[in-house]
Amino acid sequence: MQRASFENDLIPLQSLLEEKLRLRTGHLRDRLSKARYRLPRRLRKDVEFILQADYMTQNPHLAIMVSETRFQGAVRAISAYLADLDPAQERKNRLLNLAALIALYVLLTGAGVVGVMVWRDLV
């Protein structure tokens, strides 16, 4: 696999990383490393393969060892997942999870206070 075709195949993936995950700065390795833990487990191996292919395509002798079909499949799988993401929905879910967590903490604290009051015969 040639370095030029490798970089051309990653252009749509880079734009999806910018648009959906807000990873705008840094080299592809940095972006994919940050995105690795925000992706499902099944796609982490694909990210690892793309990172390894990035390293290998810098050397012409190692570039021959990169499987182009596996690379294309990995790029397609990650791109398909990122295309389905909705950043607004992700923010909304994060806020709802935070609100639910705060409500749980308030409920548990209240239950603890009532429990201590019952234990000390204050109620």
> Within this chain, do residues 101 and 120 fall inside the same structural domain, yes or no?
yes
Q: Can you give the residue range of the structural domain that contains 103?
A: 86-123
* CA angle centred on 23, ends 49 and 42, rounded to 5°: 35
> Within this chain, do residues 63 and 112 fall inside the same structural domain, yes or no?
no
> Within this chain, do residues 79 and 92 fall inside the same structural domain, yes or no?
no
Alpha helices by DSSP H, the chain:
3-21, 28-35, 41-56, 60-63, 68-84, 87-119
| Token output for 114 | 């009532």
Provide the b/e sequence for 63-94 (b: ≥16 CB within 10 Å).
beebeeeebeebbebbbebbeeeeeeeeeeee
> Within this chain, do residues 32 and 79 fall inside the same structural domain, yes or no?
yes
- If you average pLDDT over residues 7-25, what whole number do you get? 89
pLDDT at residue 18 greater than cutoff 80: yes
Instruction: Enter the pTM of the model.
Output: 0.76
Q: Quick: pLDDT tens for 67-122.
A: 999 999 999 999 999 999 999 999 999 999 999 999 999 999 999 999 999 999 99
